[in-house]
Amino acid sequence: MREFKILSFFAIGLILSSCGNSEESTAKKNRSAQISDSHSYSNFKKINTTHLHLDIEVDFETKTIAGVARHEMNDHHSNVAIFDTKALEIQKVTLGKDNEIGTDFEIGDANEILGRPLKVKIKPDTKYINIYYSTTDKTQALDWLEPALTTGKKHPFMYTQGQAILTRSWIPLQDTPMNRITYSADVKVPSELMAVMSAENPKKKSATGEYHFKMNQRIPAYLIALAVGDLTYTPLSDRCGIYSEPELAAECEYEFVDLPKMIEAAENLYGTYQWDQFDMAILPYSFPFGGMENPRLTFANPTLLAGDRSLVSVVAHELAHSWSGNLVTNATWNDFWLNEGFTVYFENRIMEALYGKEIADIHAFIERQDLSATLEDMENGKHPEDTQLKLHLDARDPDEGLTDIAYVKGAFFLRTLEKKVGRKKFDAFLKQYFKSHAFQTISTESFVEYLRAELLEPNKIEFNVDEWIYQPGIPDNCVKIRSRRLERMSELAQDVNEGEMIFIGSDADLKRDDFITQEWLAFIRGLSDDITPQTMREIDRKLSFSMSANSAIKSEWYQLAIRVGYKDMRPYMKEHLMKVGRRWLIEGIYTELANSKDTSNLKWAKDVFAKAKDNYHFVSRSTVAEILGEK
């Protein structure tokens, strides 16, 4: 009711706020002020949150988070503050700190991607805005898990996933990477559970279930994160460690033993780690990503626990984000490659520092293969222009930018630059880039300007920067990666393709442990779709790919099996799809099933998805629904 009453107030307010004023002319001098973020409704350039305090309770009975988001605002002179919300219930909005007074607010129409703007009537000198709210069952950030979906199976679990624009579905705020805030939180959870955030964290459970958090460094909204479950802390050094369910603690300690060395290597490359503590929280299998770089507390999927430390490049990746992404942040989701391309490049440098160039090249080679496949799909798809680094995702879901272009083309751009200018100069340039832009956001255009001014012009280097960034496809000067070890695996696969039974005869003793994960991936990729189910059966007999402990190998193997028509593995594939929600490990499988000429595969996929979908986070669930034509 209240929402209608105040319409006229807002109509006038918005007209006024769109007129020019002196603030705007100052702003025009500043390049970043000229960019807008089409994925946020907020008027953060007129008025912005500087500090957010959350006072919330996490209720596992009703599966809701409810409480107050207390926003401390900058000096502004504005009559309206606009926040982003999505599927939230807003109970009331007040102004003031100790003496709160109710104010009018209006919630705009819902947009499927962006959610709804919350427009709050304020005074030009308003400093504090308090939004009383609760989440709903339509929330897209939150994943509520029954005990059966955890490792311990005794306690429920809940975690948030904010990137790219989902934070607004659990906190009403200005959900744009262009505004950075500090935050604090008072969080109440059931007393048998522990709460952790992307902030200073407890090391032990509190008897009352009450936790207090502080993040004193300024971060964008997408990096606010919370996880609640039966967690225990295992330190790996005095500044890093792992939060996991107690049942996984020993495995984590083994798998991530190199983490302290990774942090040192990263610091040697690009300067001091700025976030004091680097911990990881191992979430349930439904977590839609391998890792998410929430500052001070990377979230990770337990599929990383391969038992042989073969998937630790994901840890190097999330650690690298502590510089690229968290310290220097993409201004908008069109600049996403600045986060991910830099991070994949940096991840590879950490891998090289720890494990040598041969291993680093193996990773880069696999990524380059992925990129070629992605390029082919995209060039024949709906948006061939998305093969540019700089994207134009206005009116589209920023999730659509999450492709190998940002990650791998981005990293190869930097590798090619490195080759051209030499590693020494390039490293010095990157170190300075992180230092001079620390705790800031940056657009592609500003980066290009900085690159020319600080690296290319002083060294009189000609480089096709514009082609790399603003043109589709991969430029001809892209560096080539070779890997003798992976070539050997392709040759082995070729022998199989040509009918040689490599598992009988001279290579008969080939064992799973003879090669690392990435080598087996290259082997599986080298196998032709024309091999027979019988050949796959033989390989399985020898190497047990179908029931591998390594979900990356399983995912690659199942995709080939679908194309070949090798159905023996279906029970294992079903088990994998029921358990794992990491999107990258399931979307390829569902895509093969959906595209298969054998239409029984699509039916099988739909049946499995119907049972598995409650085990997936919204992010994976919606991707799979789209693949299966259910959206």
**The one segment of 142-150, 237-245, 288-296, 467-475 that binds ligand BES by CB under 6 A:** 288-296
Half-sphere exposure of 626 toward its Cβ, with a 13 Å CA cutoff? 10
How near is the Cβ of 321 to Zn ion at its closest, in Å? 6
Nearer to Zn ion, 78 or 339 (CB): 339
Write out the H or E segment, with its range, that includes residue 449. Answer: helix 444-451
How near is the Cβ of 23 to ligand BES at its closest, in Å? 32
The listed partner (ligand BES, Zn ion, none) that binds 162, CB under 5 to 8 Å by sort, is none
Nearer to ligand BES, 363 or 563 (CB): 363
How near is the Cβ of 247 to ligand BES at its closest, in Å? 23
Q: What is the 3-state secondary structure (H, E, C) of 269-322?
A: HHCCCCCCCEEEEECCCCCCCCEECCCCEEEECHHHCCCCCCCCHHHHHHHHCC
Q: For the window 475-494, what string marks contact with ligand BES as x by the rule CB under 6 A?
A: --------------------
Size of the site for Zn ion (CB under 5 A): 2
Nearer to ligand BES, 184 or 298 (CB): 298
SS3 284: coil
The listed partner (ligand BES, Zn ion, none) that binds 289, CB under 5 to 8 Å by sort, is ligand BES
Q: Which of 293, 386, 404, 556 binds ligand BES (CB under 6 A)?
A: 293
Out of 41, 285, 355, 407, the active site residue is: 407
How near is the Cβ of 107 to ligand BES at its closest, in Å? 26
Q: Which of 37, 318, 352, 361 binds ligand BES (CB under 6 A)?
A: 318
Nearer to ligand BES, 230 or 404 (CB): 404
How near is the Cβ of 79 to Zn ion at its closest, in Å? 39
The listed partner (ligand BES, Zn ion, none) that binds 363, CB under 5 to 8 Å by sort, is none
By the rule CB under 6 A, 71 interacts with ligand BES: no
Q: What is the residue-wise DSSP string for 40-88?
A: ----TTTS-EEEEEEEEEEETTTTEEEEEEEEEE-S---SEEEEEESSE
Q: Which of 67, 115, 284, 291 binds ligand BES (CB under 6 A)?
A: 291
Residue with tokens 């947009």: 111
CA-based nearest residue to 159, from 227, 208, 80, 69: 227
Q: Which of 292, 359, 562, 593 binds ligand BES (CB under 6 A)?
A: 292
The listed partner (Zn ion, ligand BES, none) that binds 134, CB under 5 to 8 Å by sort, is none
Nearer to ligand BES, 130 or 163 (CB): 163
What tokens were used for 74?
């900058």
Q: Which of 9, 450, 503, 584 binds ligand BES (CB under 6 A)?
A: 584
Catalytic residue check, 318: yes
CA pair distance 367, 233, nearest whole angstrom: 33
The listed partner (ligand BES, Zn ion, none) that binds 163, CB under 5 to 8 Å by sort, is ligand BES
**The one segment of 284-292, 528-536, 538-546, 573-581 that binds ligand BES by CB under 6 A:** 284-292
By the rule CB under 6 A, 335 interacts with ligand BES: no
CA pair distance 631, 624, nearest whole angstrom: 9
Residue with tokens 């709210």: 133
Q: For the window 138-177, what string marks contact with ligand BES as x by the rule CB under 6 A?
A: -------------------------xx-------------
What tokens were used for 621?
């669930």
Catalytic residue check, 630: no
Residue with tokens 């190869």: 412
Q: If you compute the radius of gyration of the chain from its CA atoms, what whole number of angstroms results? A: 25
How near is the Cβ of 38 to Zn ion at its closest, in Å? 22
SS3 433: helix
By the rule CB under 6 A, 450 interacts with ligand BES: no
CA-based nearest residue to 608, from 581, 585, 584, 577: 577
CB within 8 Å of 444: residues ≥ 6 apart: 334, 335, 337, 338, 389, 390, 469
Out of 251, 255, 318, 418, the active site residue is: 318
By the rule CB under 6 A, 402 interacts with ligand BES: yes
CA pair distance 29, 587, nearest whole angstrom: 45
Q: For the window 332-361, what string marks contact with Zn ion as x by the rule CB under 5 A?
A: --------x--x------------------
CA-based nearest residue to 133, from 146, 112, 147, 115: 115
Write out the H or E segment, with its range, that includes residue 234. Answer: strand 232-235
Cis, bond preceding 164 (omega within 30 deg of 0) = yes
Contact (Cβ atoms closer than 8 angstroms) between residue 415 and residue 470: no
What tokens were used for 515?
């090669």
Q: Please list every residue from 406 through 425 that binds ligand BES, using CB under 6 A.
A: 407
CA pair distance 482, 581, nearest whole angstrom: 33
Question: Torsion angle, CA of 382/385/390/395, rounded to 10 degrees?
Answer: -40
By the rule CB under 6 A, 503 interacts with ligand BES: no
SS3 107: strand
Nearer to ligand BES, 227 or 564 (CB): 227
Q: Which residues are catalytic?
A: 318, 407
The residues of the shown chain that bind ligand BES, judged by CB under 6 A, are: 163-164, 289-293, 314, 317-318, 321, 340, 402, 407, 584
